């Protein structure tokens, strides 16, 4: 078990975690480990992808305890976001674009997804965020539906 797991789980259910120095210290250590790849939201164990719920709880804790902070300059790009997730400069060395494509877990059903933005100019302009979404994993029912659809075509 990761040393931060129990602290994250405890703070995630605490109603008073937002105002504590401990919560911020634990989260900052958590964020550093997450950024370095030492903690992952999902891991492949025995050939199967498994979600680390406590990591998702840690990410949500960061949003809960964060305070709004202005970032940027008057002359350029500026925005407001939680101070627990500060903007960071990404360079080529960070390898954000990978040499090989990301791996979709076997039997995953991936669909295009979108979410309407509901505040500010994005809402006025009707903007949405688009991303592929894994909605489920294939099972017997999924295979039967696909077979039926192909037969009907």
* Tokens read off for 122: 């994005």
What is the predicted pLDDT for the residue at 150?
A: 75
What is the predicted pLDDT for the residue at 5?
A: 95
* Tokens read off for 28: 């900052």
Q: What percent of the chain has pLDDT over 70?
A: 86
What is the predicted pLDDT for the residue at 47?
A: 86
What is the predicted pLDDT for the residue at 97?
A: 61
Grade residue 42 by pLDDT with cuts at 50, 70 and 90: confident
Grade residue 37 by pLDDT with cuts at 50, 70 and 90: confident
Mean pLDDT of 58-85: 85
**φ and ψ at residue 2, rounded to 5 degrees:** -70, 140
> In sequence order, what are the beta bridge partners of 115?
129
What is the predicted pLDDT for the residue at 93?
A: 77
For 22-35, write each residue's pLDDT tens digit.
999 999 999 999 88
Per the model's pLDDT, the better-predicted residue between 139 and 133 turns out to be 139
For 82-135, write each residue's pLDDT tens digit.
889 887 777 777 766 656 666 777 777 776 777 777 777 777 777 777 766 666
- In sequence order, what E strands does 11-122 have? 42-45, 48-51, 68-72, 78-82, 108-116
């Amino acid at each position: 078990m990761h040393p931060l797991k129990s602290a994250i789980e405890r703070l995630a259910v605490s109603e008073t975690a937002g105002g504590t120095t401990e919560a911020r210290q634990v989260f900052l250590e958590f964020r550093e480990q997450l950024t370095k790849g030492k903690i992952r939201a999902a891991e492949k164990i025995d050939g199967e992808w498994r979600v680390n719920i406590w990591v998702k709880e840690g990410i949500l804790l960061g949003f809960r305890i964060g305070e709004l902070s202005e970032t940027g300059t008057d002359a350029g790009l500026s925005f407001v976001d939680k101070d627990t997730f500060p903007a960071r400069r990404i360079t080529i060395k960070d390898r954000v674009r990978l040499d090989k494509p990301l791996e979709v877990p076997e039997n995953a059903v991936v669909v295009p997804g979108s979410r309407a933005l509901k505040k500010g100019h994005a809402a006025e302009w009707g903007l949405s965020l688009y991303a592929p979404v894994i909605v489920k994993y294939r099972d017997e029912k999924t295979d039967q539906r696909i077979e039926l659809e192909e037969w009907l075509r």
